[in-house]
Structure 1
Amino acid sequence: MLTTSLASRTSAELSQAYAEGLDPREVAEAVIERVQEREPVLNALYLFDPEQVRADAAASARRWAAGAPLSRWDGVPATVKENVWRKGRPAPSGTALPEPPLAPSNAPIVDRLEEAGVVIVGSTTMPDWGMLSSGVSSLHGISRNAWDPTLTTGGSSAGAGAAAAAGYGPWHVGTDIGGSIRLPGSWAGLATLKPSDGLVPLHAPYKGRVAGPMARSVAELQAMMSVIATPDPRDYLSRAYSPMNWAARLAEPSHLRVAVQREAGSGAPVEPDVAAAFERAVGLFAGAGARLEEVAPFMPAEALAGLDGFWRTRSWNDLQALPPEQQELVLPYIARWARGGAQYDGAATIRNFDRQAQIAQVTRAATDGFDLVLSPVAPMAAFPAERPMPIDDPDQPMAHISFTLPYNMSGQPAATVNCGFTADGRTIGLQIAGPIGADDAVLAAAAWFESVREQATPDWSLVP
């Protein structure tokens, strides 16, 4: 029986060990063993081909033996969300619809990972069309939290959150249009980053949608961004940002102007345990001399409802185009939610569409001049795995994304890092946002917080 400790090694540890003679095939076998051990419960992977993993690890071993690795990360295991194209593989977006499309090419992210020699372990699960903040899917069933399988892993990067927490290797890629990277981050104790608009190129760009890293530590996010944050002409929203320092460190935050946002302005109220953990995190910044200023809630309820309405209409367009027998295959919660979009005529749809610009404007205005913005990630901790949403009512706007959604619309980077636990042990995330294009500075601040949070540090040895 191989030890699974290799599966939990960091990318930096693996890189050093490979240079000193560790065979990437040993690591691949440890990860495969870990996957096979946990998958019957967690259900985190959609596509998993152990023989392909072994073949890719063997190719990495040959390169290291020849002294010609493709990068220092050659042989590091990673997963990607199922909506991130991998050439020739199906991309069902979490739905049980028949004959899912086959990806005609790799997504830019996959190309960058493969060019660096990274071993892709598999594609991770997501809920139907990525429109749930859980791991409930008509295709996959239920993906579960690695800490406690009775709880959600969050979504829509559901499998990625479970895989990262369970130790399916150190690197995991999710996507996020309203919180889909950061919510699993909060509910699985992870470090995550929703990057600035266009920093990490996509094969299918869309307003607010980004792809980004999910892992057990901020150092892994920095390492991943050094690989995937490269402009690509296939993404017409991709931008050539000024070079970023993915090794940036923050000695202390005393020179920083930091906004503190305690209330979102809409959605569900912040639960007491979440509020208490957030205040302890703010206290660490204050104790280190950061110049803190409270900002008023800025996410309008009417904007949240309007954008929710636009997303419903977009999904209704997809749903109504299906034959009736296929409509029945879509998760009932999502089908009911999408049918709510039928009530909006053309004028109302345009008004709802314009809420994206309104949210972007109010977010930029509220956060202008600050180096960082601190807030909770979500107003609540993880909920039961079987529940599609934290507030289980598809007729209501999404009440849990008012802290995360603003930064999708404004294009600003927003990281998460664990900042505490509820009384019953569920993880709680701190969101750290910053100006657009300041992703490296945001991650440096997250790494600083990670280094001082002490009792809020997840003990990964406790994950079964």
Structure 2
Amino acid sequence: MPEPYQLTATQLLAGYRTHTFSPSEVAGALVEHINRWEPHINALYAYQPDAFIKAAEASTQRWAKDEPNGALDGVPVTLKELIATKGMPVPVGTGLGEQAPATEDAPPAARLAEDNALLLAKTTCPDFGMLSSGLSSFHGLTRNPWDLACNTGGSSAGAGAAAAAGLGPLHVGTDIGGSVRLPAAWCGVVGFKPTLGRIPIDPYYVGRCAGPMSRCIEDAALMMTALARTDRRDAMRLPPEKIDWMDLGLDIKGLRVGVMMEAGCGLPLDDEIRHQVEQAAKHLEAAGATLVPLAPVLTREMLDGLDHFWQARQWSELLKLSAEEREQVLPAILAWADGGARLSGVDAVQGFQQTMMMRRATESVFDEVDAVISPTTPNIAFPAEWPSPTNDPRQPFEHIAYTVPWNMGEQPAISLNAGFSSGDMPIGVQLVGSRFADHFVLKLARLLEERLALPMRWPTLPTDKVGAQ
């Protein structure tokens, strides 16, 4: 039998029902596993094992009476630290500013608590969630479990590392330009960005979504049963809809799948990634889909415009800090965001208008096809200490060209592991559907996951303290 930390959430629930093991037994084994891994990868924030064990004991008592309370009762879960939990500050990767404890759970935290998932910890993120990196001025450096010398990506850095290392089966990240899917790809796990508003979130913003991160599609679907419940605090939420998220069967005969191998701008695509994505597309073709070559949706003008808009937005956030506090922010963030101080109001508005151009371009794709398959990232790996794959604060978004258009267009997109490189690093493949087709995207991903039939692999626990924080 696999170790408890290797079991999926659905397997844990099945074991609880049959009394094969209890939430307390799982929690105890998981704490031991975390004690071995966490010094190497630094994925967790506000980890409170005693409170976790106590909550598991209460869940064990409910299951012993065959009276679980909630669909996730006793299943360990983490939340990205940007997702507020009552009584805990939200350091946004910096720990600067007032740092008052949150007065209530944000919607994703509230939904999981309602289902009695066991909150194991929060997970790390870079400063302001504005880097695709495991580097943070507050949390320190989060490393990739597959190779401690490599980056996790971000900004859901800790969630990607925790999922890959088996620090619980369920994790929730946030994504405004690829921050769920990018670390999922670089860490070899599943990362799902739903249609904007499908999972209520607070604070809400253009393109900002919460999303499941897990080791399999079924667990991502299981999380959607909780996370997709409505919450009026999100004024951009979708209307409530009855969806059987666990129904993952799909016949794709006659489906038109667009193959988008080029991003339109940004970093060039690595040949090994190209090969793996092409192979994944052939699996869909073998299942009955028709493959349709697609041109990129993103242009240089779009990406640069978004960069300017985000610079202005980030500079406005930095102005809320004192001069002394600003000096404590990561140099890469400061070197990038200070460009916002030199942009005019017209520049910022013109930059924002490029998000509308992305929306138009992405939506028009689905006049031709039912779904899109593409790489998730252009590169396989980059050094752990770098703030981005370019290591250039003036070009921090060259790696998000495959992911960010679907945030601005609001379409659901998922990354899953397509295989491993010659250097044994994970390679992600992305699937995208039209707006509101979240359930379809999960079904398509499950079909591809089954067709790929990758053997379960786990990172090797380091035997020394290299990379320990």
Q: Normalised by the size of structure 2, how large is the TM-score? A: 0.95
Distance in 1 (CA, whole Å) between partners of 2:459 and 2:317 is: 43
- Residue 288 of structure 2 corresponds to which residue in structure 1? 289
How far the C-alpha of 1:65 sits from its partner, in A, is 2.3
Contact 1:336 1:394 (8 Å CA) reproduced = yes
2:251 is the counterpart of 1:268: no
- Residue 13 of structure 2 corresponds to which residue in structure 1? 15
Q: Map of 1:74-85 to 2, 5 A cutoff?
A: 74-85=73-84
Q: Which amino acid aligns with 2:12?
A: L
Distance in 2 (CA, whole Å) between partners of 1:461 and 1:36 is: 15
| C-alpha distance after superposition, 1:203-235 (max 9, x if no partner) | 211000000100111111011111111111011
- Residue 325 of structure 1 corresponds to which residue in structure 2? 324
How far the C-alpha of 1:397 sits from its partner, in A, is 5.1
Q: Map of 1:183-332 to 2, 5 A cutoff?
A: 183-332=182-331
How far the C-alpha of 1:253 sits from its partner, in A, is 2.3
Greater CA drift, 436-445 or 74-83: 436-445
Distance in 2 (CA, whole Å) between partners of 1:102 and 1:219 is: 34
Distance in 2 (CA, whole Å) between partners of 1:23 and 1:417 is: 30
Contact 1:177 1:408 (8 Å CA) reproduced = yes
Give the SS at the match of 2:173: strand
Q: Which amino acid aligns with 1:236?
A: A
Distance in 2 (CA, whole Å) between partners of 1:23 and 1:261 is: 45
The structure-2 alpha-carbon separation of the partners of 1:259 and 1:4, relative to structure 1 and needing over 3 Å to count, comes to closer
Contact 2:143 2:151 (8 Å CA) reproduced = yes
2:432 is the counterpart of 1:433: yes
| C-alpha distance after superposition, 1:321-376 (max 9, x if no partner) | 32111111101111111101112111111111111111111111123342210000
Contact 1:138 1:329 (8 Å CA) reproduced = yes
- Residue 56 of structure 2 corresponds to which residue in structure 1? 57
Distance in 1 (CA, whole Å) between partners of 2:333 and 2:456 is: 33
Q: Which amino acid aligns with 1:415?
A: I
- Residue 402 of structure 1 corresponds to which residue in structure 2? 401
- Residue 387 of structure 2 corresponds to which residue in structure 1? 388
| C-alpha distance after superposition, 1:225-262 (max 9, x if no partner) | 11111111011111115422312334542231111101
Greater CA drift, 169-178 or 237-246: 237-246
Distance in 2 (CA, whole Å) between partners of 1:318 and 1:239 is: 28
- Residue 334 of structure 2 corresponds to which residue in structure 1? 335
Contact 1:77 1:170 (8 Å CA) reproduced = yes
Give the SS at the match of 2:318: helix
Greater CA drift, 178-187 or 102-111: 102-111
How far the C-alpha of 1:462 sits from its partner, in A, is 4.7
Give the SS at the match of 1:149: strand
| C-alpha distance after superposition, 1:287-333 (max 9, x if no partner) | 22211111111201111011011111111111133211111110111
Contact 2:164 2:459 (8 Å CA) reproduced = no
Contact 1:198 1:238 (8 Å CA) reproduced = yes
Q: Map of 1:77-226 to 2, 5 A cutoff?
A: 77-97=76-96, 99-226=98-225
Q: Normalised by the size of structure 1, how large is the TM-score? A: 0.96
Distance in 2 (CA, whole Å) between partners of 1:461 and 1:356 is: 38
Q: Which amino acid aligns with 2:166?
A: G
Structure 1 gap ranges (5+): none
| C-alpha distance after superposition, 1:153-185 (max 9, x if no partner) | 110000000110111111000000000000011
Distance in 2 (CA, whole Å) between partners of 1:241 and 1:293 is: 33
Distance in 1 (CA, whole Å) between partners of 2:32 and 2:89 is: 24
Q: Number of aligned residue pairs: give it.
A: 461
Give the SS at the match of 1:80: strand
Distance in 1 (CA, whole Å) between partners of 2:160 and 2:248 is: 26
Q: Which amino acid aligns with 1:384?
A: P
Contact 1:8 1:168 (8 Å CA) reproduced = no
Give the SS at the match of 2:419: strand
How far the C-alpha of 1:23 sits from its partner, in A, is 2.1
Q: Which amino acid aligns with 1:317?
A: S
Distance in 2 (CA, whole Å) between partners of 1:379 and 1:367 is: 23
- Residue 39 of structure 1 corresponds to which residue in structure 2? 38
How far the C-alpha of 1:385 sits from its partner, in A, is 0.7
Cα RMSD between the aligned structures?
A: 1.6
- Residue 26 of structure 1 corresponds to which residue in structure 2? 25
Query: How many percent of aligned residue pairs carry the same amino acid?
Result: 42
Q: Which amino acid aligns with 1:18?
A: Y
- Residue 466 of structure 2 corresponds to which residue in structure 1? none
- Residue 345 of structure 1 corresponds to which residue in structure 2? 344
Distance in 1 (CA, whole Å) between partners of 2:282 and 2:166 is: 31
Distance in 2 (CA, whole Å) between partners of 1:5 and 1:77 is: 15
Structure 2 gap ranges (5+): 463-469
Distance in 1 (CA, whole Å) between partners of 2:291 and 2:200 is: 34
- Residue 448 of structure 1 corresponds to which residue in structure 2? 447
Distance in 2 (CA, whole Å) between partners of 1:397 and 1:119 is: 36
The structure-2 alpha-carbon separation of the partners of 1:24 and 1:152, relative to structure 1 and needing over 3 Å to count, comes to same
Contact 1:418 1:457 (8 Å CA) reproduced = no
- Residue 418 of structure 1 corresponds to which residue in structure 2? 417
- Residue 377 of structure 1 corresponds to which residue in structure 2? 376
Q: Map of 1:356-371 to 2, 5 A cutoff?
A: 356-371=355-370
Contact 1:418 1:429 (8 Å CA) reproduced = yes
Contact 2:308 2:347 (8 Å CA) reproduced = no
How far the C-alpha of 1:50 sits from its partner, in A, is 0.8
